Structure 1
Amino acid sequence: MLTNMKKRLMMAVTLCVSFVAHAQDLHFSQWFNSPLTTNPANTGFIPDADYRLGANYRNQWSSIMSMPYKTMSVWGDAQVFRDRIESGWLGIGGAILRDAAGSGNLVSTKVYGSLAYHQMLGTAHLLSAGFNVGWANKRLNTTDLRFPDQFDGKFFDATLPTSVALDYSAVNYFDMQLGLNYAFFPSENLYINGGASVHHINRPRESFFRSDVTDSLGGIVDGRIAPRYIGFVNASIKLNDMVIVNPMGYYTRQAGASEMVVGGNVQY
């Protein structure tokens, strides 16, 4: 797959529309290059290979921050039991993600294992279902942080005591995702694929405090992670022996944050 892609000139145009509120999950702008974090049903869904390996890196706001946000991952998956299951197979895989944010050195580390089942329905339809489970750790170093009560009227003084106290400097939790995937390929000239997934279905608690805290308006801040919903669709349309058009779309929503990506590429 990678070799074939390198042989073609690719012209890509992507339109991104984002609405940001609250905290966001680790994510990559090129969602199609991070299949296991997009949908666990993608595990082992490899049309032209038996296995694949990948790595992702994202650097955000480096032009305005001395310590920008950095997100990286390594992942891999493979097809198994293709010769034991009639018209179907299993996919197994895993991913490791790490995110470092800001001067407070807020670091997230996540390790996931994925499993999916793929079943052919006739000769032109494929239905897939998958899940992943994993362990996550988030830690915060407050040494380099400054708080309002450390302001002496002119400057921030790190030697001044602060009333801000975390109950924990690190938290660990179990996490789980589910996904479905459908592919339709009636001919060698047309391929359509779409999927949907739900992340954090167990709503793990991710807080540096023992109990829920109140916001500035006196409301309770829920320390649990909100479910994240992802839907995507992509297609491959062969116009002739020289040109293939690949449109794609992606939408995700979590609490008050949402992101939509619409774009595509042309292979020539």
Structure 2
Amino acid sequence: MRQQRIIIIFLLILGTAARAQDIHFSQFYETPLLRNPALAGLFTGDYRVQTVFRDQWNSFTDAYRTGSLNAELKWPVGNGNDYFTTALQVLYDKAGTAALTTTELLPAFNYHKSLSDNKPMFLSLGFMGGLVEKTLDLSKVTTNSQFNGTAYDPALPNGETILTPNVHYLDGSLGISFNTAFGAENANSMYVGFAYHHLNRPKNSFYKNPTVELDPKIVLSGGVKIGVNDYSYFTLYADYSRQGPSTETIGGVLYSYKLGPDPDNYPYTFTLGTLLRWNDALIPVIKLEMYSFNLGLSYDVNVSRLNTVSNSRGGFELSLSYIGLLDRNREKTPAGFHDPRF
């Protein structure tokens, strides 16, 4: 009953009203740095590489294609239980007819302070910051100024004053998270986090208008992993974000089953689940873990008012991740150390 109450309470946070935001992923748990730089390093191992590709709105417009690549490396600090994580987040997004393209290169750092000598329990503080570039293909832009009264005339000027169709700026984010294990033999784990993105309010105008800047964005994140038995477990994820007047709430439940005769040394894990982006999409998810590799596939079933045009078709996502050890001959957690993990 206690585990059931945890699941019910966790799902209730999905009831917050929301409106869709710009760049996002349905498999948001595969892009931890975009959620919160203080979520870097929450895995069992020394390093992790994750990539996600998203293809959206192919059913009725020029596709929105988004790709994310992040890499994390962590190591213990001194002789205590503290850890340090360095990471890099790369993002590429190309949207719409005018080919609005966004490229982000964001290094990140996260310090995990151990709060217990008896079990994994960490308070983490992370920072991420780097360069962002946005470009626009003016040859694909059409405006009302190119309407000659009877038809569209591409020879007419578009009337826009964009001289250089690119924007460059520095962007920064801060985050804090709490991560711990609980239950019998610390078999369960959970985390909560808070992040503040665009803390420097970067200028973001193709017209070079100094008054146009990005609103800061706050993100509240949480996750709980609860074992059912030696072979299966539930994982619950949820994020709530707010940027200016826009909000987004997404979360859901995944059920995983280990395949193999030994639950402590299993070659495969099969996962099924469903996510919900409130007032936007229902998202079935399938995932296969093969040793150190994880392969995930999801599809957005559009349930917003846009489904009249989209016929409920949203976008698909493909994710791939790898978790490894620097020393293949040792266990995932060095003797005497607790590992920040989820």
**Would you say same fold, with TM above 0.5?**
yes
Match of residue 36 from structure 2 = 39
SS of match in other structure, 1:162: coil
Residues 63-122 of structure 1 deviation map (CA, whole Å, 9 limit, x = unaligned): 101x21111021100112x15251101000101111111121111111010000001101
Give the aligned residue type for 1:60: Q
CA distance in 2, matches of 1:184, 1:111: 30
SS of match in other structure, 1:32: helix
CA distance in 2, matches of 1:31, 1:104: 26
Give the aligned residue type for 1:70: R
CA distance in 1, matches of 2:161, 2:207: 9
Gap runs ≥5 in structure 1: 1-14, 213-221
RMSD: 1.8
Structure 1 residue 18, shift from structure 2 partner: 4.4
Residues 196-244 of structure 1 deviation map (CA, whole Å, 9 limit, x = unaligned): 10110000001011325xxxxxxxxx41001111111111111222331
CA distance in 1, matches of 2:216, 2:153: 39
CA contact (8 A) 1:108 1:139 kept: yes
TM-score (norm 1): 0.84
Match of residue 6 from structure 1 = none
SS of match in other structure, 1:37: helix
User: Is 1:56 matched up with 2:45?
Assistant: no
User: Is 1:160 matched up with 2:143?
Assistant: no
Match of residue 226 from structure 1 = 215
Residue of 61, 74, 77 corresponding to 1:79: 74
Is 242-251 or 49-58 further displaced after alignment?
242-251
Match of residue 236 from structure 1 = 225
Structure 1 residue 179, shift from structure 2 partner: 0.5
Match of residue 267 from structure 1 = 256
Match of residue 181 from structure 1 = 177
1:199–1:83 CA distance, 2 compared to 1 (3 A): closer
CA distance in 1, matches of 2:90, 2:69: 5
Match of residue 249 from structure 1 = 238
Match of residue 188 from structure 2 = 190
CA contact (8 A) 2:54 2:67 kept: yes
CA distance in 2, matches of 1:71, 1:133: 20
Identity, in percent, stands at 28
TM-score (norm 2): 0.66
User: Is 1:96 matched up with 2:90?
Assistant: yes
How many pairs align? 239
Superposed, 1:61-140 pairs within 5 Å as 61-65=57-61, 67-80=62-75, 82=76, 84=78, 86-122=80-116, 123-124=118-119, 125-140=121-136
CA distance in 2, matches of 1:128, 1:73: 23
CA distance in 2, matches of 1:37, 1:90: 19
SS of match in other structure, 1:19: coil
Runs of 4+ in 1 over 3 A off after TM superposition: 15-18
CA distance in 1, matches of 2:225, 2:208: 50
CA contact (8 A) 1:90 1:118 kept: yes
Match of residue 206 from structure 2 = 208
Match of residue 149 from structure 1 = 145
Structure 1 residue 192, shift from structure 2 partner: 1.4
CA distance in 1, matches of 2:129, 2:113: 22
Structure 1 residue 25, shift from structure 2 partner: 4.5
Give the aligned residue type for 2:149: G
Give the aligned residue type for 1:144: K
Gap runs ≥5 in structure 2: 1-13, 258-342
CA contact (8 A) 2:77 2:84 kept: no
